[in-house]
Amino acid sequence: MTPGAARVVSPRTLVMAPGHRLVESYFDEAILPRPSDAPMLVAPCSFNSLNKLAGGIADSLALSVTADMIGRGLPVVVALSVNAPLWNHPRTRQSIAALREWGVSVVEPALENGEPTLAPTDIILGELRRQLAVATESPR
């Protein structure tokens, strides 16, 4: 979890959900010797996390694992969730362009009543499924 995500949902809540595991370190046995090659979903991705990824900043476990995946050329899907001023900020377009240039799939926000909001779950999961299909078709 990023620090922002931890303010919204507690790690304990996630651990209590069946099928989830808490990983607190890049050296946790769950991700050793390195993170999985499976497609990664970063959602919701904030303005801060978007720009950190595009700037190569990996100051949390979530960003470190994502940066690792980008560096290995593995499928990463980033679903943005930003407000209107941040959606219109020039850095947003630059960061999206950089990530796409590196092969990252960026799901842009949907507009509801003229305001950007996280894209619908079916669109995000559809892109993740598409990335999974591409990953399983191409040998690594």
Q: Which two tokens stand for residue 66?
A: 């994502």
Angle of CA points 101, 125, 61, to nearest 5°: 65
Write down the pTM of the prediction: 0.84
Domain boundaries along the sequence of the chain: 38-137
Angle of CA points 2, 90, 75, to nearest 5°: 45
| Overall CATH class of domain 38-137 | alpha beta
In this prediction, residue 39 has a pLDDT band, given cuts at 50, 70 and 90, of: confident
Q: Which two tokens stand for residue 60?
A: 């949390």
Give residue-wise pLDDT tens across range 45-61. 999 999 999 999 999 88
Phi, psi of 77 (to 5 degrees): -115, 125
Give residue-wise pLDDT tens across range 9-21. 787 787 788 877 7
- Residue 35 and residue 33: Cα distance in Å, rounded? 7
| Helix 61-71 with 47-54: angle, nearest 10 deg | 40
